[in-house]
């Protein structure tokens, strides 16, 4: 199936239609001011205000996805970037126009909110929002101060915008010649491909050249990250939080114990991670692993380049344990213009799914190049897409949107199902080892690597909270310390200081305590996947009900209802048992078959 990109006409048939909708929504910003002078203590007024509020941001979501997606199609396109900034500006204006709403709802108090809900049945779809507004009120400022913060929100996004433009549109990445004579620019997309190359000399050269560019701009990128973190720290202090971490977890009522439990349990599991590095070293036939040896596949490549059509088939086959409705939605999306799959010059690197267009469907961006890792990314992003589709189908708009704390469970569970399926269809020992190696590395990247990032990020915020400025040198030194510990420097991996600038390569540090949720989600999704694959009664229904619940309750509460408590050791211990079992199987296969990959040792 030939495919060049997603179909944005599902959002708007043309740019002209987009601008017409943009103008209409901009004109409706006055609705916020109109309701501001009305008492919300009356149920009819409250109902009218909430309907207008949610319709405003429901319409804005459609505009935002169009602007984001069209800009990411070609980051070099100045007009599209300008349109994206205009939409961000409109979003800030709309937020400012309605910034009075949350403080006013908080002032109603819990008792009055319950009375109004009893008086007006049509308020039912807003019940969670209203009750949560009372809870959030503990850290709201005055209406005037909230308006100022809302108007300043584009300034808070400036560091990330700077990072994006600098690293994707203006970085002078080096060029290098491949063994076949092809000259390539070692940018983000090419680097992720070359770091997996079997020729050790080539991947070392690519890795050193790639990170040399980041080192050259480390001071600038440190200024951007310092501005981002300082903005978060300042707002947390203004809102009377004890720390930036508390402020980040409070909106979705995630207990602080979840974050600290993750770091503690991941620390306990480090011997398993270092055991994986020992296995990798043996498989690659090296006396010592280097940083540029951490991504090359080990085991005989039993798949080669996987066409996108075959990747779709594998994904559909792997998710059959989730039932007919899940598969049906996935089939519709894969065939319906929801995805932009292939890399090209100027296109945003990486992958994502955006489900903000409630009345349309999610959009998936990939940079698919045919590796098994790319197939796993396909599964990951479509986990998000089906989650959004299910939440939008079963929840009204006010409770459809779910937080990242839940989102990464759906994505990582899809990956686990994919690898389990591959292990069932790959019968030769070499094929089994190849899939097991990817499965183990998937857990390393999603759990251990993200926990490493979370450890670093917490230390960064704590330093700024203590009055320290972030610089290229101290960020690189801090990251190097963390990197050495997590990678087992001096044991299995020799960590070169040259690569401690990797912090500057990670965009998620501009998201504010985001990365830990990949790791907690990996623990939760492994827990769910093992139950579903074992056919445990009710396991699939509990999981699908979690997806369908969207944001209808706090995510930690929804997870506990589904049987997973991420503030307890159990999910992480279960992940450790699962990981150790995969290690055992891979070690036996490697010993029996003596299978590895040939490497050019420089």
End-to-end, the C-alpha distance of the chain in Å comes to 41
Instruction: List, in order, residues 6 or more apart from 596 with CB less than 8 Å away.
Output: 282, 283, 284, 285, 298, 299, 590
| CA 212 to each of CA 478, 502, 600: distance values in angstroms, whole numbers, following the listed order | 18, 10, 22
Annotate 327-352 with DSSP letters as a single string.
HHHHHHHHHTT-EE----TTSPPS-E
Q: For the sheet with 339-340, list strands across it.
A: 339-340, 363-365, 352-354
Which residue's structure tokens are 């890792």?
A: 373
- Could you tell me the two tokens for 279? 């296995």
Rounded distance between C-alpha atoms, residue 29 and residue 90, angstroms: 9
Q: How far apart are CA 376 and CA 462, in angstroms?
A: 34
- Positive or negative torsion for Cα 362, 365, 369, 375: negative
Burial class (CB in 10 A: 0-12, 13-18, 19+), 507: middle
- Write down the catalytic residue from 73, 146, 356, 381: 381
Rounded to whole angstroms, the Cα distance separating 599 from 206 reads 15
- The answer to whether residue 204 is catalytic is no
For tokens 């309701």, what's the residue? 35
With the CA atoms of 386, 388, 390 and 392 taken in that order, what torsion angle do they form, in degrees rounded to the nearest 10?
-150
Tokens representing residue 339 in the block? 């995805």
Q: What sign for the dihedral angle of Cα 311, 313, 318, 324?
A: positive
| DSSP one-letter code for 525 | H
Q: In sequence order, what DSSP letters do the residues of 268-330 get, joined into one string? A: HTHHHHHHHHHHHHHHHT-SSEEGGGSSS--S--SS-SPPHHHHHHHHHHHTGGG-HHHHHHH
Q: Give all strands (DSSP E) within 520-573, no chain letters.
A: none
**Can you give the C-alpha Rg of the chain in angstroms?**
24
Which DSSP category does 515 fall into? T
Beta-carbon contacts of residue 310 (< 8 Å; ≥ 6 apart): none
CA distance 180 to 256: 52
CB-CB neighbours of 592 under 10 Å: 10
Neighbours of 82 (CB within 10 A): 12
What is the helix, strand, coil percentage profile of the chain, to 5?
70, 5, 25
Active site residues: 381
């Amino acid at each position: 199936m030939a495919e060049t990109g997603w179909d944005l006409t599902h959002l708007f048939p043309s740019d002209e239609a987009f601008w017409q909708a943009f103008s209409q929504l901009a004109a409706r910003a006055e609705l916020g001011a109109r309701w501001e002078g009305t008492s919300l203590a009356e149920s009819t007024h409250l109902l009218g205000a909430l309907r207008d509020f949610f319709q405003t941001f429901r319409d804005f979501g459609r505009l935002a996805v169009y602007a984001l997606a069209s800009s990411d199609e070609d980051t070099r396109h100045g007009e599209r970037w300008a349109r994206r900034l205009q939409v961000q500006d409109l979003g800030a204006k709309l937020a400012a126009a309605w910034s009075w709403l949350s403080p006013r709802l908080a002032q109603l108090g819990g008792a009055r909110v319950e009375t109004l809900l009893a008086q007006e049945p049509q308020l039912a779809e807003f019940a969670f929002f209203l009750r949560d507004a009372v809870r959030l009120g503990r850290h709201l400022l005055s209406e005037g101060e909230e308006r100022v913060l809302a108007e300043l929100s584009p300034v808070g996004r400036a560091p990330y915008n700077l990072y994006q433009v600098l690293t994707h549109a203006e970085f002078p990445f080096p060029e290098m010649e491949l063994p076949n004579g092809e000259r390539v620019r070692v940018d983000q997309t090419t680097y992720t491909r070359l770091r997996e190359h079997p020729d050790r000399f080539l991947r070392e050269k690519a890795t050193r050249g790639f990170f040399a560019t980041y080192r050259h701009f480390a001071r600038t990128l440190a200024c951007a990250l310092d501005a981002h973190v300082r903005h978060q720290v300042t707002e947390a202090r203004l809102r009377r939080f004890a720390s930036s971490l508390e402020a980040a977890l409070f909106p979705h009522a995630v207990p602080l114990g979840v974050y600290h439990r993750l770091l503690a349990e991941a620390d306990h599991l480090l011997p398993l991670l270092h055991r994986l590095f020992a296995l990798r070293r043996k498989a690659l036939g090296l006396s010592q692993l280097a940083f540029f040896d951490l991504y090359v596949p080990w085991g005989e490549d039993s798949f080669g380049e996987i066409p996108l059509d075959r990747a779709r088939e594998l994904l559909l086959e792997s998710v059959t344990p989730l039932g007919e409705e899940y598969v049906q939605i996935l089939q519709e999306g894969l065939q319906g213009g929801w995805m932009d799959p292939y890399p090209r010059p100027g296109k945003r690197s990486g992958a994502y799914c955006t489900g903000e267009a409630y009345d349309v469907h999610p959009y998936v961006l990939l940079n698919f190049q045919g590796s098994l890792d790319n197939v796993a990314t396909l599964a990951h992003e479509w986990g998000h897409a089906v989650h959004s589709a299910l939440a939008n189908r079963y929840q009204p708009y006010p409770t459809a949107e779910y937080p990242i704390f839940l989102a990464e469970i759906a994505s990582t569970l899809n990956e686990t199902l994919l690898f389990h399926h591959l292990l069932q269809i790959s019968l030769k020992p070499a094929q089994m080892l190849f899939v097991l190696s990817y499965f183990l590395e998937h857990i390393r990247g999603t759990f251990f690597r993200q926990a490493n990032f979370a450890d670093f990020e917490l230390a960064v915020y704590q330093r700024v909270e203590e009055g320290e400025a972030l610089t290229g040198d101290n960020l690189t030194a801090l990251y190097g310390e963390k990197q050495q510990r997590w990678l087992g420097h001096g044991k299995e991996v020799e960590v070169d200081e040259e690569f401690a600038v990797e912090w500057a390569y990670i965009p998620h540090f501009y998201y504010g305590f985001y990365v830990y949720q990949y790791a907690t989600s990996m623990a939760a999704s492994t827990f769910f996947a093992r139950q579903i694959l074992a056919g445990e009664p009710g396991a699939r229904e509990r999981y699908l009900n979690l997806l369908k619940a969207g944001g209808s309750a706090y995510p930690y509460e929804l997870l506990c209802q589904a049987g997973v408590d991420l503030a307890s050791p159990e999910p992480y211990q279960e992940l450790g048992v699962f990981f150790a079992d995969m290690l055992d199987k891979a070690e036996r296969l490697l010993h029996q078959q003596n299978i590895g990959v040939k490497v050019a040792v420089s």
